[in-house]
Each structure stands twice: as C-alpha cells, then as structure tokens.
Amino acid sequence: MNVIVIAVIVLGVVGLVSALVLFLASKKFAVWEDPRIKQVSDVLPQANCGGCGYPGCSGFASACVKAAEGGSLSDLNCAPGGQQVMEQIAGILGLQASAAAPKVAVVRCQGTCDVRPHGVEFDGAHSCKVQNMTGMGETLCQYGCLGEGDCASVCIFGAITVNPATRIAEVDESKCTGCGACAKTCPRGIIELIPQGPKNRKVVVLCNNKDKGALATKECKVSCIGCGKCVKVCEKFEAITLGVNLAHIDPDKCKMCRKCEEACPRGAIKAFNFPPRKPKTEVPAPKAEVVKETVQSEAPATNKVETTKE
C-alpha cells in the first residue's frame, strides 16, 4: 500500500514540475501577435483561394496589418470579398480603402469542335497539364483550350465549367470573384483576368494563337491572323496592340466603340453584354433630276416688199 501511495506522489510531483516548466517556457518563448490580425481575419471570406498572392486568408490578414504601418492598403485586395470587405479591413486598421475595379476571368478561345479540326485522339489522363506536356492535344492548334477542366477543378466558387458540346471552358460571371486560380492553373495561359467594365461590358480578342496567318487559318476558322485591321481602326485610342501575330486589347484604353469587332475578318474579337446592334438601313440614293429643254423653233421672218404701180 505504501508503494502505491509513493508512486502516486512521485507522479504528481513530476506532473506539477513539468507543468511549471511548460508554463515558464511558454511565457519565455511566447510570440506576440497583433490582435488586429485576428480581427482582420474574421471579416475575410476564408476562401483561402490565394488570389491575393498570400498563403490563405491568415497570410493576407498579416500582410494587411503590416501594410498599415506604411499607411496604405493600395497594393492589397481580396478578390472574393470585394470592395465591401476591404472597407471593413480599412476601418479596423484606421485607413482609407482605395477603390479597386472588380475583375472577371475570360477564356480567350472560341475554337469549338466545329471550327477547330481534330488531328488525334488522346487516350490518357484527363488533365490539361498532361495533354499539354505530350504535345498539341487532340486538335491542330497548340494554343487553344484543351477542355479537360483543370481550371474547373481549382475553382472553389463553381464559376467555371467545361461545355461538353464545345469542349471549351466557360465562365459564369455571376459567380466569378476574380481570384485568378483558374488563370494560374491553365497550362496554356488562355484565361485572363480583365476588369468587369461598366455594365459588365467588355471587348476581348478570343484567341491565343501566335502562329502566322496561313498556319493559323488552317488550325482554326476563328483564329487571329495578325492582319492588323483592328489596330488601324483604333489608331485614335491606341487600345489595340499587335504582338507575335496576335492582337491584344488594353481594357484601360478601350472605349468600347466595337469598331474592331466589325473590322476583324475572322470574328476573333467579341463584345460581351452589349445590346444587339441596330440593323443598318440603306438610304436610297437620290434620283438625278432630268432637265427637259424645250426647243422652240421660230419661223424666219419674211420681208414683204410691196410694189406700187403708177
């Protein structure tokens, strides 16, 4: 009986000493954390999408508190939370939230099965990354959408899906938060984040083909051939530039006049969320007036000579 009591006492003393050591160690090596980090983290959507460029919402919260020491949050933005969340964060940190234009993902490819001929049949892993590593995929275009859905698998908001009929990824703008996860995942870089624009209107070159015109024409019926006609009609605003056989529209300079869409001979430029164009009415040419000239013929006057007989 004495042995049991002694064992209990020894274990109790060891436990108390261990607890005391752990307590002192926690106080000695404690890492102080700014309480504002938790406050900022609580207002974030906790999507952990990485669209902000930091490892999760906790990393973004720490970056916001650190940026508050410099007095500005201009370089930080939470895409899923939007302007409302950034204003709440600014209120916690005693700063002014800068307005950031919301962005949306756009798939710069419209090469459906009807316009992009298939060359091979891929029998392997259903992954865009794997297909891109093995070659051009199933079509002749090495720049277009592969349609295996890597972008859809990383979108935690369900904003992007692959159309089974066209084999092209499609973005639901009502669900897209502009986090950029799909753009980072696409092995061919055909997904781009652009400003939503007023009334969600935008004009985009829906092509990523950088081959020369003759080859691009064979690969896809709606490919950009780098003809430069869109650049010429936009010389006033300089919103369109021509890179390596591919046109690109700067959304910050675009005036959405849609002249480039009309000028593109391949239909590679598309305007989104615009009202339908009004049909052009042909104005009849004015009829030429026929001037009728009346020619009046006057009989020559005859001089009568009267002779008087005497």
**Tokens matching residue 66:** 């650190």
Residue 125 CA to residue 14 CA, distance in Å, equals 58
Angle between helices 82-93 and 35-43 (to 10 degrees): 160
Lowest mean pLDDT among 53-62, 123-132, 183-192, 278-287: 278-287
Q: Given the structure tokens 């009591």, which residue do they identify?
A: 5
- Residue 64, in any domain of the structure: yes
Confidence band of 295 (pLDDT split at 50, 70, 90): very low
Q: What is the mean pLDDT of residues 223-238?
A: 95
Q: What is the mean pLDDT of residues 113-130?
A: 87
pTM score of the predicted model: 0.75
One domain, residues 207 and 79: no
One domain, residues 109 and 82: no
Residue 256 CA to residue 249 CA, distance in Å, equals 10
Q: Is the pLDDT of residue 278 over 60?
A: yes
- Residue 198, in any domain of the structure: yes
51 or 303: which carries more pLDDT confidence?
51
Confidence band of 249 (pLDDT split at 50, 70, 90): very high
Q: Is the pLDDT of residue 297 over 60?
A: no
Outline where 224-308 has alpha helix (H): 229-233, 259-263
Burial of residue 297 (CB within 10 Å: 0-12, 13-18, 19+) is exposed
- Residue 98, in any domain of the structure: no
* Residue 170 bridge partners (DSSP): 161
Rounded mean pLDDT of the chain? 87
Q: Given the structure tokens 């973005």, which residue do they identify?
A: 171
One domain, residues 63 and 212: no
Between the ranges 65-79, 126-140, 166-180, 284-298, where is the mean pLDDT highest?
166-180
Among residues of the chain, what percentage have pLDDT more than 90? 62
Query: Last residue of some domain: 69, 93, 117?
Result: 93
Among residues of the chain, what percentage have pLDDT more than 70? 90
One domain, residues 110 and 258: yes
Domain span holding position 58: 35-93
Residue 67 CA to residue 197 CA, distance in Å, equals 28
Q: Is the pLDDT of residue 98 over 90?
A: no
Q: What's residue 53's pLDDT? A: 86
Residue 112 CA to residue 91 CA, distance in Å, equals 48
Residue 166 CA to residue 267 CA, distance in Å, equals 17
Confidence band of 124 (pLDDT split at 50, 70, 90): confident
At position 1, the amino acid (one-letter code) is M
Name residues whose C-beta falls within 8 Å of residue 136's C-beta, 6 or more positions apart in sequence: 119, 142
- Residue 154, in any domain of the structure: yes
8 or 297: which carries more pLDDT confidence?
8
- Residue 84, in any domain of the structure: yes
- Residue 122, in any domain of the structure: yes
Q: Given the structure tokens 């997904």, which residue do they identify?
A: 191
pLDDT 10s digits, 39-68: 999 999 998 888 888 988 999 999 999 998
Q: DSSP 3-state assignment of 194?
A: strand
Closest to 160 (Cα-Cα) out of 112, 197, 107: 107
Other C-beta atoms closer than 10 Å to the C-beta of 10 total: 10
Name residues whose C-beta falls within 8 Å of residue 176's C-beta, 6 or more positions apart in sequence: 104, 105, 157, 159, 160
Q: How many domains does the chain have?
A: 2
One domain, residues 59 and 184: no
- Residue 259, in any domain of the structure: yes
Mind giving me the DSSP string for 159-188?
-EEEETTTTEEEE-TTT-----HHHHH-TT
One domain, residues 83 and 153: no
Residue 37 CA to residue 163 CA, distance in Å, equals 41
Q: What's residue 287's pLDDT? A: 63
Measured in residues, the chain has a length of: 310
One domain, residues 85 and 204: no
One domain, residues 69 and 199: no
- Residue 152, in any domain of the structure: yes
Q: What's residue 288's pLDDT? A: 58
Closest to 223 (Cα-Cα) out of 205, 248, 235: 205
Q: Residue 47: give its domain's CATH number.
A: 1.10.15
pLDDT 10s digits, 167-219: 999 999 999 999 999 999 999 999 999 999 899 999 999 999 999 999 999 99
One domain, residues 136 and 208: yes
Q: Is the pLDDT of residue 292 over 80?
A: no
Q: What's residue 305's pLDDT? A: 43
Residue 161 CA to residue 166 CA, distance in Å, equals 11
Q: What is the mean pLDDT of residues 116-125?
A: 84
Q: What's residue 1's pLDDT? A: 60
